[in-house]
């Protein structure tokens, strides 16, 4: 696949991911100054990234280009490290140490836990489909030997 085509596929994924992040930021505005929108996109991104990689790629044998579009493009532009650090600085500069601590813990530990959950669910789904396909093959094989 050409690098130009790969670039445009990632570009499309990034456009969708960035637009989704913006829409979420419109809905999760907080009067308290706590960055709920950034926390939400980063935690859900931490959940969906391993799920997309491990489940969809393993289950549907997606091409490397499709995986790049979903991971680097969609999830990469949906999540935002730079906004997280800017929010962290804002909380620090405003002297809101309670929110700063809560935000850092929720982002770091929550992101890790959501990532584990995404990996776990991907493994469960992949195991389910593997067993289902194996059972279907056994049924077909038994059917062929019975005929």
pLDDT at 11 over 80: yes
**CB of 98 within 8 A of CB of 53?**
no
Q: Within the chain, where are the H helices?
A: 3-27, 36-50, 57-60, 64-68, 76-78, 81-93, 97-146
* 79 among annotated binding-site residues: yes
Distances (CA, A) of 37 to 12, 42, 79, 137: 22, 9, 10, 46
Give the pLDDT of residue 123.
86
More confident residue, 77 or 132: 77
Give the pLDDT of residue 147.
62
Q: Tokens representing 65?
A: 């280009």
Identify the DSSP state of 79: S
Domain boundaries, the chain: 3-146
pLDDT at 1 over 80: no
Band of pLDDT at residue 23, cut at 50, 70 and 90: very high
Mean pLDDT of 54-58: 74
Tell me the pLDDT tens digit for each residue of 80-133: 888 899 999 999 999 999 999 999 999 999 999 999 999 999 888 878 877 777
Buried residues in 67-76 as b, exposed as e (16+ CB within 10 A): ebbbbbbbbb
Tell me the pLDDT tens digit for each residue of 30-50: 788 899 999 999 999 999 888
* 37 among annotated binding-site residues: no
pTM, two decimals, is 0.79
């Amino acid at each position: 696949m050409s690098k130009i085509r790969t670039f445009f596929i990632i570009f499309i994924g990034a456009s969708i991911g960035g637009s989704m992040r913006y829409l979420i930021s419109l809905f999760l505005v907080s009067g308290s100054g706590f960055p709920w929108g950034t926390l939400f996109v980063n935690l859900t991104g931490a959940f969906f990234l391993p799920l997309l990689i491990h489940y969809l790629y393993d289950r549907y044998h997606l091409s490397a280009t499709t995986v790049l579009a979903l991971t680097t493009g969609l999830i990469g532009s949906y999540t935002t490290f730079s906004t997280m650090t800017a929010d962290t600085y804002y909380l620090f500069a405003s002297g809101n140490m309670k929110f700063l601590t809560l935000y850092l813990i929720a982002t770091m530990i929550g992101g890790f836990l959501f990532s584990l959950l995404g990996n776990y669910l991907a493994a469960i789904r992949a195991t389910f489909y593997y067993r289902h396909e194996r059972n279907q093959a056994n049924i077909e094989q038994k059917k062929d030997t019975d005929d």
